[in-house]
Amino acid sequence: MSIDLASAMAVAAIAMAIPLLYAALGELLSEKAGIINIGLEGFILLGAFTSFAVAHSSGSNLAGVGAAIIVGVVVAAGFAFLVVRCAANQIVVGTALNLFAVGATGVLYRAMFGVTGSVLTVEGSPLLRIPLLADLPVVGEALFHRTLLLYVCFALVPACAFLLARTRVGLEIRMAGENPRAAAAQGVDVARVRALALVACGVLGALGGAYLALDYTHTFVEGMSAGRGFIALAIVIVGRRWASGILIASLLFGGVTALQFHFQALAFDVPFQFFLVLPYAATLLLLAISAGDTNAPASLGK
């Protein structure tokens, strides 16, 4: 494999990994607090649509990202109200959110932009080049000549690890997920901790959607999340609910997705649907391999 091809593969793999990593880090915080947020797919889709719609209307990608964050907060707050305050079934609420996101984004897109038959685009976010590091072979262009959202995403990995392992807030999150009754006896407001963890999850999921729409595709297409929310759920399990493990798993899934595009470009005498299924087949395979102790909180989903 040539250096140029390896560099292109690295760029594609990391670009595909970022939405997954954003969503998976959000799910990590949510699950550590004891809540399964199966609505990640909905958060990604809502973040993608909102960021694109605002960026296209205002001409500012930064405004689009800000709008995606606001939508993430509002929708996640509603999610938290239902599952934390009203004790609604977490799986049912998450599934309803996913269905709502698919319908709402489709209807709003057609209401705002109509059925034009052409693809509407926005200008991509500016690339920020880190001197010297960007000149490294293979990984230089992929890691050190990218957009701000990519750098923020990678910075969140050690930040989440430090938050959960070394801070009082992280301790309260883990207590809420392991034994909420004992946490409440120690003066922890379990409902507040879980609600805030869900809001953080919603914001990170929406940021993953914003990256997908603004920095990767520069457009919005109905259903463009394409199962990434569910892959992010699998990444949390495969990564053993550790931030570092989630980073590795996200890069692995991103690499598999980039590889299927490369295989299609090689024009093998194989139906292209075979290559499209590769990321999802890899998800099932790794979940099967990872069966057993997944470091799940004792009160997860309860």
Please name which of 209, 202, 229 lies closest in space to residue 77, comparing C-alpha atoms: 202
Grouping H, G, I as helix, E, B as strand and the rest as coil, residue 291 is coil
Residue keyed to tokens 């959960």: 164
Kind and range of the H or E element at 145? strand 145-146
- pLDDT of 117 higher than 60: no
- Report the Cα–Cα distance between both ends of the chain, in Å, rounded: 49
Residue 272 has pLDDT above 70, yes or no: no
Full domain range(s) for residue 63: 3-289
Question: Which carries the bigger pLDDT value, residue 115 or residue 107?
Answer: 107
* Residue 149: per-residue pLDDT: 96
Classify residue 175: in a domain, yes or no.
Answer: yes
CA-to-CA distance for 154 and 71, rounded, in angstroms? 22
Residue 295 lies in a domain: no
CATH of the domain at 228: 1.10.3470
Q: What's the residue count for the chain? A: 302
Mean pLDDT of 266-285: 74
Q: Where are the alpha helices (DSSP H) in the chain?
A: 3-32, 40-58, 61-80, 90-113, 139-144, 148-166, 168-178, 180-185, 190-210, 228-238, 243-265, 272-276, 278-289
Virtual torsion, Cα 56, 57, 62, 64, nearest 10 deg: -80
Around Cβ 298, how many Cβ atoms within 10 Å?
10
Phi and psi based region of residue 52 (left: phi greater than 0; alpha: psi -120 to 50; beta: remaining): alpha
Q: Give the three-state DSSP class for 175.
A: helix
What is the overall mean pLDDT for the chain?
90
The residue-averaged pLDDT of 162-186 equals 95
**301 in a structural domain:** no
CA nearest to 250, candidates 238, 263, 261: 238
Residue 299 lies in a domain: no
Residue 194 lies in a domain: yes
Q: What radius of gyration do the chain's Cα atoms show? A: 19
The predicted structure's pLDDT at residue 32: 96
How many domains, the chain?
1
Q: How confident is the model at residue 266 (pLDDT cuts 50, 70, 90)?
A: low
Is 216 domain-assigned? yes
Asked if 260 contacts 279 with a C-beta cutoff of 8 angstroms, the reply is yes
- For 97, what's the count of Cα atoms within 13 Å in the CB-facing half-sphere? 32
pLDDT at 83 over 60: yes
Q: Quick check: is 125 in a domain?
A: yes
Instruction: Say if 23 falls within a structural domain.
Output: yes
pLDDT tens digits, one per residue of 187-246 = 999 999 999 999 999 999 999 999 999 999 999 999 999 889 999 999 999 989 999 999
- Which residue has 């670009």 as its token pair? 15
